[in-house]
Amino acid sequence: MKFTTNISSDFLKLSKMPEKSKPSLINFAATDFDTLKAELVSYVKAVYPTDYNYFSESDLGMMFLELVAYMGSVNSMKVDMLANESFLETAVQRESVKKLLDLVGVKLKGPLSSAADIEVTFDNASTEYTITPENRVFTTTSPEDGGQVTFTLYKVVDGKVDTANSNGSITLYDIEADPSVDALNPVGFSNLAVQEGSLVSESGTFASTEGVKTISLANTPVVEGSIQVFITSENASVDGAFTEVPSIFQASGVSDKVFEVVSDSDFRSTVVFGEGTVSVSPGVSDTYFVTYRVGGGVRGNVISNSITGSLNTVEGPTGQIINPAPATGGSNAETIEHAKRWGPLTFARQDRVVTIEDYVSFSNNFVSDFGTVGKATATTRKAYSSGNVIDLYILEKASDNQLQKATPNFKINLLESLDTKKMITDEVVVSDGLIRTLDLVVTIRLDKKLEPNEAVIMSKVRDKILAFLSIDNRDMGDNLNLADLNRSIFEVEEIRFSNIDNLSKDVVVEFNEIIQLNNLTIRADYLE
């Protein structure tokens, strides 16, 4: 069989590339559309100086050159993005940051739920009161978005909310009425808390015969640390409760009943068990029962006296609950900016706290039922020959990304966690950091012709100032440099002049103090 083609002579001319006409220099730095288009035009003119002269914008040939330039710019963007997303310092995608931190065993933190101490008042006196599970749930309104927030009543044991008995009853004892029961370490009226989040339970059977056993949780976002797993098995070594660990490989032996929680960038969670070589692995046909809480975030940091309701008891008396102080500890999922800053330091600590930098890193990554560290700093002083006193100053993260003094329970949690990581000879003293509230009055000057756009420009300036003074971008001990603040304002290109009206000099703070913006006033002036 014979094939024939009919190729025009003009095309054959264009396909020939005379050596003498080849460009002597190729701009390999050209990545954007306009530059690539110009380079392509120059290339064609250099290679085909007499054979092709159709460079009108409406010409079909120019359309093809523009298509090539378009594809080149898209590919250049993707290559740059892949390069940037391969390094923690330049990565901007949450999934990329997560994967890079996963390589060194550091996990992005999910949303955390708030908790609040409550007071209970019963209408009839008794020495003990039993509250059934169905009477332990209360709802209120979130100040963040106006939606409903669910809280569940729990015991508080050693400064921690005890969620292990999520589905069981709670018995309260009136210790003042009957002091003898105190010897049994009962739960009195002051040992109670409500914690945000809706309790969810799932059950099923392991069907797979091969590979790692996993449980994909159906609901999201899962409150970090709230997952409890129970296995029912004929094998005694598998049957019972399993404990969450940061990594399966931290199991101490093949007999450990542990699991690891793996989450994607959207915090869809999967429970992962060992394979039997590093920890206990459930068997085929074993049944699992999982409970966890769904919720979390700053929306749960409700105001004081907002959590109310009736507390029905088995014995008959009815109690009324109220939170005398705001709920604290609720925080959104960890930002990639926080993860990029503190993740490498977490890895460097290697799960121990020795240096001052270790104390600061550990504290800035610490979360508990009663709060999340917003900012921390530390200093050391010699106490005796064999050890040091570490003065740790912290501020708790409140709602709206603000800072506040930490609650006593939160400080207790932090000290208990540090005790397991620090050198035995070190003594740690946790104190409140200092907050320097700041009011700013800023005057900006614009061209008169820009007056119709004043609202837009003012919004840009406000965003620049808020970003500059954001607690995410500042640490304890950071002074406020007025020149730097004005420099950030001038990043708004329409600004011709700016002045901080109520400050004449830089604001200098102590090493354990941080500046927090209170009020911001922006005024506009015009140049004729």
How are strands ordered across the β-sheet holding 434-447? Answer: 497-500, 434-447, 513-527
CA distance to 180, 397, 464, per residue, from 177 (Å): 9, 38, 59
Determine contact, residues 195/114, Cβ cutoff 8 Å: yes
Residue 404 bridge partners (DSSP): 396
Same domain assignment for residues 206 and 273: yes
Same domain assignment for residues 237 and 257: yes
At 254, list the tokens: 């093949």
Question: How far is the C-alpha of 194 from the C-alpha of 135, rounded, in Å?
Answer: 12
Q: pTM for this structure?
A: 0.65
Same domain assignment for residues 190 and 304: yes
Give me the CATH number covering residue 408. 3.30.70
Same domain assignment for residues 186 and 231: no
- Which of 281, 306, 322 lies at the terminal end of a domain, its last residue? 322
Other beta carbons less than 10 A from residue 310's beta carbon: 11
Same domain assignment for residues 193 and 204: no
Same domain assignment for residues 214 and 279: yes
At 200, list the tokens: 């969810």
Backbone phi, psi, residue 425, to 5° = -85, -10
Burial 477-516 (b: 16+ CB within 10 A, else e): bbebeeeebbeebeebeebeebbbeebeeeeebeebbbbb
Domain count, the chain: 5
Same domain assignment for residues 357 and 216: no
Q: Helix, strand, coil: what percent of the chain each, to 5?
A: 25, 30, 40
Same domain assignment for residues 119 and 187: yes
User: What are the residues whose beta carbons fall under 8 Å from the beta carbon of 218, sequence distance 6 or more?
Assistant: 200, 202
Question: How far is the C-alpha of 290 from the C-alpha of 214, rounded, in Å?
Answer: 12
Q: What is the mean pLDDT of each run of 10 residues along the chain (528 residues)?
A: 48 50 67 90 84 81 90 91 89 87 82 85 78 84 88 77 68 68 56 85 83 89 87 90 86 86 83 87 91 88 90 83 86 84 79 88 81 89 76 84 83 88 89 94 90 90 92 90 94 91 94 94 87
Question: In this structure, what DSSP letter does residue 80 have?
Answer: H
Residue 2 maps to a domain:
no
Residue 343 maps to a domain:
no
> What is the model's pLDDT at position 217?
94
Residue type, 265: S
Question: In this structure, what DSSP letter does residue 222 have?
Answer: B
DSSP 3-state of 463: helix
Same domain assignment for residues 272 and 285: yes
Determine contact, residues 422/389, Cβ cutoff 8 Å: no
Same domain assignment for residues 177 and 307: yes
> What is the model's pLDDT at position 7?
46
Residue 444 maps to a domain:
yes
Residue 335 maps to a domain:
no
Pick the closest to residue 330 from 403, 416, 397 (CA basis). Answer: 397
3-state secondary structure 6-44: CCCHHHHHHHCCCHHHCCCCCCCCCCCHHHHHHHHHHHH
Residue 505 maps to a domain:
yes
Same domain assignment for residues 164 and 313: yes
Q: Which domain holds residue 313?
A: 115-197+298-322
150-165 tens-digit pLDDT: 998 887 776 667 766 5
244-258 tens-digit pLDDT: 988 888 777 888 999
Determine contact, residues 472/334, Cβ cutoff 8 Å: no
